[in-house]
Structure formats: C-alpha cells, structure tokens
Amino acid sequence: MHDISPPAATGESPANGESDPFELFAAWFRAAEASEPSDPNAMALATCDRDGQPNVRMVLMKDFGPSGFVFYTNAESRKGGELNANMGAAAVLHWKTAHRQVRFRGPVELVDPADADAYFRSRARESQIGAWASRQSRPLESRARLEEAVRRETGRFASAPVPRPAHWIGYRIVPAYLEFWTEGPFRLHDRLVFEREKPEAPWRAGRLYP
C-alpha cells in the first residue's frame, strides 16, 4: 500500500510513490471501505445538457481501474440523455470520516454489453425487477403506479431469470484529470493533481495551493 499521508508543506514535487493515480486511488478506496460507515463508492456525478446547464446527483461507482471509473444507469433517464448529448462527465467521492476526497473528469464511453450483463446478474432480483419497472426521471402520477409496475414485472418474469433491459447500461469515465484532496489544519489542504492530454498519454503530476 502507498504511504498516503500528506507531504510536508514545502512545495516539493510528488513523491515517487504517487506517480500512478489509479494505484493511489485503489489504496485510498481500500482505506475508505474500512472507515466509512456506508457506501464508500457513492460519488456525485455531474453532467451537462445540450444547453450547457449542469446537473449533479449521487450514483454508485461499481468498478474502477486504469481504464476509468464505471457506473450503471438507465440510458433513458435524464443523466442518460445528457450523456448522449455530451459524452463527458465529472465526479467526486468524498470520504468524510477519512478527511479525503477524490475528484475527476474526462470523456465518457459505454461499457461493453457483456460486462453490463455480468454486473446486472450480480444485482438483487428486486433491483433487477426495478430496472424494468422504473421509467427513470420521467413524471410519476403516484407511488401506487410504481408499485403496480413492480407487481406487473414481477409476475411477467415469475421465477425465470431477469434479463438486463437494453436501456440499462454502463458508462465509464476515462479521466483526463484526477485530484486527491486531503484535509489539512487551518484549511491548508493537500491537493495532489494528475493530468494528461489523452488516455494513452503519460500523466503529469503536481500540487495546487489549497
């Protein structure tokens, strides 16, 4: 595991152990899993509509690695429509107990359907049914109408496996920018930044004033 304590405030360049942002993220995430009381993978996801107006909401990060950060959603939802119009996004994971956060932004790509199928199969059956029953982000006349849809879809699939709806897909944020933030005394926070021009380009690392 990395030594992930913040450096002394001397303005030095990142240490050798901080040269790979995904390795550093993995270490931080393992620490968050051990310290956060619930949902250490919860992240605020920001997208923009065709007019450039932003929206932000909480989603669950379901995978990460050198290729990026993955989440799943209904492509017919508001966020899905915004991503269809502008395949770019930003996100932040904030771990209050650990006094840390990681934020990133970059282009978005679709997850391979086979990977989406595999993840969908791992979900609770009730969540699988919900993916069919919910017309996410669209007007709902009443809670009773949603409950009726859940009963209908439950009966439709009975005891058969629930297939993944075609509109329920995965997105991967391929970061061009990552920032690792550690709370410091008197708001003198540590901000370690990684940037690159394109996914195959090398990372440039540095620090920002708090």
The confidence score (pLDDT) of residue 6 equals: 39
Tell whether the model's pLDDT for residue 73 goes beyond 90.
yes
Tell me what the mean pLDDT of segment 59-80 comes to.
96
**Angle CA 32–46–73, to nearest 5:** 80
| Tokens 């269809």, residue located | 84
Tens of pLDDT along 115-170?
999 999 999 999 999 999 999 888 889 999 999 999 999 999 998 999 999 999 99
The confidence score (pLDDT) of residue 137 equals: 85
Catalytic residue, chosen from 105, 187, 196, 207, is 187
Within 10 angstroms of residue 39's Cβ, the number of other Cβ atoms is 12
Return the domain boundaries, the chain.
Answer: 16-120+169-208
Tell me what the mean pLDDT of segment 13-18 comes to.
48
Tell whether the model's pLDDT for residue 191 goes beyond 90.
yes
16-120+169-208: what CATH class? mainly beta
> Of all residues in the chain, what percent carry a pLDDT higher than 90?
84
Tell whether the model's pLDDT for residue 178 goes beyond 90.
yes
| Helix H or strand E encompassing 205 | strand 204-208
The confidence score (pLDDT) of residue 18 equals: 66
The confidence score (pLDDT) of residue 159 equals: 84
- Kindly list the distances between the CA atom of residue 137 and the CA atoms of 5, 57, 61, 172, in Å, as whole numbers in the listed order: 41, 12, 20, 21
pLDDT-based confidence at residue 49 (cuts at 50, 70, 90): very high
pLDDT-based confidence at residue 207 (cuts at 50, 70, 90): very high
Choose among 179, 81, 185, 171: nearest CA to 135.
Answer: 81
135 among known catalytic residues? no
Tell whether the model's pLDDT for residue 74 goes beyond 90.
yes
Tell me what the mean pLDDT of segment 112-116 comes to.
97
Half-sphere exposure (CA, 13 Å, Cβ side) for 74?
14
Tell whether the model's pLDDT for residue 1 goes beyond 60.
no
Distance in angstroms (rounded) separating the CA atoms of residues 46 and 89 = 6
- The phi, psi pair for 137, rounded to 5°, reads 80, -5
